[in-house]
Amino acid sequence: MEGIWLIAFLAQWALLLLLGLLVIGTLRQLGIMQQRWRMAAPPITSLEIGDVLPDLYLPDQDSEIVPVSGHLKQRGGVILFLSGACAACRMVLEQLEALEDSDVANRGVVLIMVGDVAEARRLLRSHPGLAPAILVVFDVEGTAMRRLNVIAVPTGLVVDERCRLVSQTFNPHAGQWIYKALRIAPPIQREAHAEVGLIVPAVYVASSKLHSAPEGGDRM
C-alpha cells in the first residue's frame, strides 16, 4: 500500500514538473513572438524616445508661419497629425472638444492638419468646441510628415518641456491616451449622471406611493 502512495506522490511531482516546463516554454515562445512583432511593426515616426523634436514651421489658420516647437517649449504637450478625410481623426477631435483652456494651459496641444486644406477646415468647423489655446497648423505639402516620416493618421506625439519625445502612437483616440499625455483627469460624464438623477427619484417616488397606500384603499 505504501508503494502505491509513493508512486502516486512521485507521479504528481513529475506532472507538476512537466506543467512547469510547459509554462516556461510557452512564456519563452510569447517573448520571441512579441520581439518578432516589434521588429516587423513599422516605426511610428523617425524619432525615438528622447530625441529632440526638429524645428517645424507651418502656416496657422491665419496663414501666418509659426514654429511648432515654440508652442511647446517650457511646457511640453501633444502633437497630433490629423486629416479631414480620416474617420478616426474625428474621434480625436471629439475627445479634444471635452478639453477647456485650463486643461491646455500648462501643456500645449498642436494639431497638424494634413491633406486638403478645405476638407480639414470643414472638419474643424464641425467641432467648434475646441479650446482656443489649441494651435492648428496646416501641412499642405507634407513637409512635416516627411521630416518626421509619419506614415499614417491619426498619429500622436508627446514631448516634454525641452521638446524631447516622450511617447508616440498610431491610436491617439484609444483609451485615455490624450488625457494621460496632458496629465489631466478624464472629463466626468455629466450627462449620464443627470439621466440617473432623473430616473432614480421617479422610481423612488413610485415605490413610496405604493408602500404608503392603505391596505384597503383600492377596495370598493
Tell me the CA distances in angstroms from 126 to 84, 90, 115, 132, one per residue in order. Answer: 11, 9, 17, 15
The whole-angstrom separation of Cα 182 and Cα 185 is 9
- Give residue-wise pLDDT tens across range 50-90: 999 999 999 999 999 999 999 998 999 999 999 999 999 99
Task: Provide the pLDDT for residue 28.
Answer: 74
Task: Provide the pLDDT for residue 32.
Answer: 58
Confidence band (pLDDT; 50, 70, 90) for 10? confident
Q: Which residues contact 188 (CB under 8 A, 6 or more apart)?
A: none
Q: What is the pTM of this model?
A: 0.68
In sequence order, the β-bridge partners of residue 113 are 82, 138
Q: Using alpha carbons only, give the angle 207, 200, 186 rounded to the nearest 5 degrees.
A: 165
Domains of the chain by range and CATH?
59-182 (3.40.30.10)
| Listed range (75-89, 105-119, 204-218) with the worst mean pLDDT | 204-218
